[in-house]
Amino acid sequence: MSDLRIRAATPDDLDTVLAFWKTSAEGTSISDDRDGVERLITRDPEALILAMEVPPLQHGREPGGEGELVGTVIAGFDGWRCHLYRLAVHPGRRRQGIGSALLTAAEERFVRLGGRRGDAMVLTRNETAHHAWRAAGYTPEEHWRRWVKPLTG
């Protein structure tokens, strides 16, 4: 059995994270590229949280390497609101507590920063995610609608 380690992403993780989202995340965003994610962790180095599956200690030795990326969440705090994005767990590792561990880390981060309420961006069509978010204690607010405008510079 492997150990699960939760840690903040580093610049060295960006390519791995972007490749992971292609197979494990639902939907895409205009910011889902190397520049967008690099800006995120440059501005807020603890916002992108990773779940790494690390082989257990064997014969008293430390596990080798960093392990395999099995989950992500972005826990962004702007000083007023706590926003959750890109909660993604590898399809072969779902329903094993990885998403819960990531949300716990995100919520603990928000509390440390003085946050009062977390909100999540969840695609309407992603029924699997709806079940996961409800199980974690989140509820939809149907009276809100997201309005967006791509910005060009």
- Regions of the chain where pLDDT drops below 50: 1, 63
Position 19 scores a pLDDT of: 94
Q: What is the CATH topology of the domain spanning 3-56+65-135?
A: Aminopeptidase (3.40.630)
What are the pLDDT digits (tens) for 48-59? 999 999 887 655
User: Which pLDDT does position 66 carry in this prediction?
Assistant: 73
Q: pLDDT tens digits for 64-77?
A: 557 899 999 999 99
H or E segment and range at residue 105: helix 98-113
Domain boundaries of the chain, sorted by first residue: 3-56+65-135
Question: Which residues, at least 6 apart from 2, have a Cβ–Cβ distance to it below 8 Å?
Answer: 53, 54, 55, 56, 67
Element (H, E) at 83: strand 82-89
Sign of CA dihedral 128, 132, 135, 139: negative
- pLDDT at residue 57 in the model: 65
Strand duo 82-89 + 118-120: pairing? parallel
pTM above 0.85, yes or no: yes
